[in-house]
Every structure is written in C-alpha cells, then in structure tokens.
Amino acid sequence: MPEGLIIKALSGYYYVLPDAPGADSVQCRARGVFKIKGIMPLVGDRVIYETEESGEGTVVQILPRTSELIRPPISNVNLAVLIFSLVEPDLNLTLLDKFLVHTESSGVDAVICLSKLDLLESEDRVLSCGFTIAEIRSVYEQIGYEIIPVSIKTKEGVQRVRDRIQGSISVFAGQSGVGKSSLLNAIMPRLQLETGSISMRLGRGKHTTRHVELLPLEKGGFVADSPGFSQLDFMQIEAEELGKSFREFGSFASDCKFRGCLHAQEPGCAVIRAKQEGRIAGHRYANYLQFLQEIKDRKRRY
C-alpha cells in the first residue's frame, strides 16, 4: 500500500500527498479503529493508505511521529515560528512563554518573530509589557532563542524568516491578528492567504485561518499556517516536568538541595537563588510560578 503525508485535515477528511513525484493529494477518511484507540491522524503525519475505485482513500496506519504539538494540532514539525506582534495586539510575554513551554516539551525548536515593527514610533519605545525591543531580545537570545523583528511594510526580517524555514517542516503559530498570514504572503506571494483586521474594541485579531494546512516551499520542505488563539492550557504537562521547559533553569536546577525541586519555595533552591541574583529574568520566573499554579489547579479539578 502507498505511503504519503497528510497536508490538510478538514471536516473529517484527511488530504494525503503521495510520495510519488507530481501526484495530487488523495482525499481520505480514517479507519474507525483510530477513534476506538483514542488516536487522531494529524496534519504532518506520515501514513499508509489504501485507495478505492472512487479515487478516495482510507488511512490505515499512522507511522511513528518525531514530534507532536497539541495546539496547533500538527506532527513531525522541525521548527515553530512563533509570531507575536509588538503592538495591535500588544506583546503578550506570558502567552509567548506558554508557547515556548509547549515547543520545548514537544522537542520542537522555536524562532520568535516580533511583528509589526513599522507601527512603532521608535525601537526605543517601552512596550506595554514594560520592556523595549532591545531588552526583550537580550533576555530571550541569552536563553538561546533566535529573535527576528519583522515588518511586512518595509520587508525587514522577511528574508531571514524565508531562509530559516527552507528545507524543514515548520508551523507558524501565534494569537489572532499578529500577522501570521501576512508574513506567509510576503514569503510566498503566490499564496494570497486571507488576512484580517484588528478589533479595536477587543484589542485582538479576527480568525482568518480556520484549519491547519501544510504548504510546499519552493526550495523543499513545508510550512503550516494555523488558526490564531489567545488561550493555551497545560493538559499534557505535569508540574514536575515544567521546569525542564524553561531552558535557563537547566544549568542551575542540578544544584538544588532537594531532588524533584519545583523551584517554588523550597529551601536551597538554586533556581530561586539565580533569579534573586538576576541571572534568571524576573518575568520568566513569575510566569513559571503562574504556569505551575495552573497545572496544580488543573489536577485539583480532576
């Protein structure tokens, strides 16, 4: 039976791109056994499928995944391009850190794009989050993340993003209205994806992308646009694992006094000491404590 790649999932159908060069995608259903086992095919899955006389097909096997993201739901991604606008909507560092926790826990590398650079009167402006662009870059680049400021209007940063995603399977993710589809249009003008405006009353964007779909790149690889959203939970992450998703904690955690330290209020915690000494950013540690409490509250509800 043939193998292929799920490039789109929509209304219960999975569109599988065969491995055969030049072949068109095959519209497939999934076998009922997947639902019984609590398994759902995802965009990005490599699958084995069988075809019918009608030309449609059935996904019969999902091949092992190298990575899996819950939101957006996609598998086998090498790179997540996290797009956060500096203004309209205002930069949300708490949501950014949530995205980074999810990419880290899934083993997916991340690049942070700071969009709408042209809407700032000055790059020295203090943003609503309390930091300048330079200060944000300093914090996250020291942790080990690549930061790319982007302006669709001036094209600044667009080529850097285009070069970064070539040859990989990447996903564009972020809240509504930050310019994901606009950036994709700038990188791949032939797409002409629908873009939306910002609701000034709500301060957030309208959803223009309604499903996850892999789009082929000219020089190899795929990129996925995804629906925007403003909420992200921690259903798949336990309290004991959260600290591992904060990269900067790693070099200090091994020196904590107690094994299994949650870095909250334990005596002899090297992470707390590093934060007090200014070696861990205060807002990152505050977000860690907030996420830890969310996970604990979730366990109480269940």
pLDDT tens string 114-159: 999 999 988 899 999 999 999 999 999 999 999 999 999 999 999 9
Domain ranges of the chain: 3-62, 68-225, 239-301
pLDDT tens string 19-57: 998 899 999 999 988 888 888 899 999 999 999 888 899
pLDDT category of residue 161 using cuts at 50, 70 and 90? very high
Judge whether 256 is annotated as a binding position.
yes
Judge whether 87 is annotated as a binding position.
no
Judge whether 85 is annotated as a binding position.
no
239-301 — its CATH code?
1.10.40.50
pTM: 0.86
Judge whether 199 is annotated as a binding position.
no
Q: Which CATH class is domain 68-225?
A: alpha beta
Beta strands in the chain (DSSP E): 3-10, 13-18, 26-30, 46-51, 57-62, 68-69, 74-75, 79-85, 109-115, 146-149, 169-173, 198-199, 204-205, 213-216, 222-225
Judge whether 192 is annotated as a binding position.
no
3-62 — its CATH code?
2.40.50.140
Judge whether 118 is annotated as a binding position.
yes
Judge whether 191 is annotated as a binding position.
no
pLDDT tens string 212-255: 889 998 888 999 877 765 556 677 789 999 999 999 999 999 99
Judge whether 182 is annotated as a binding position.
yes
DSSP letter (8 states) at residue 34: H
Judge whether 276 is annotated as a binding position.
no
Residue 44's φ and ψ, nearest 5 degrees, are 100, -15
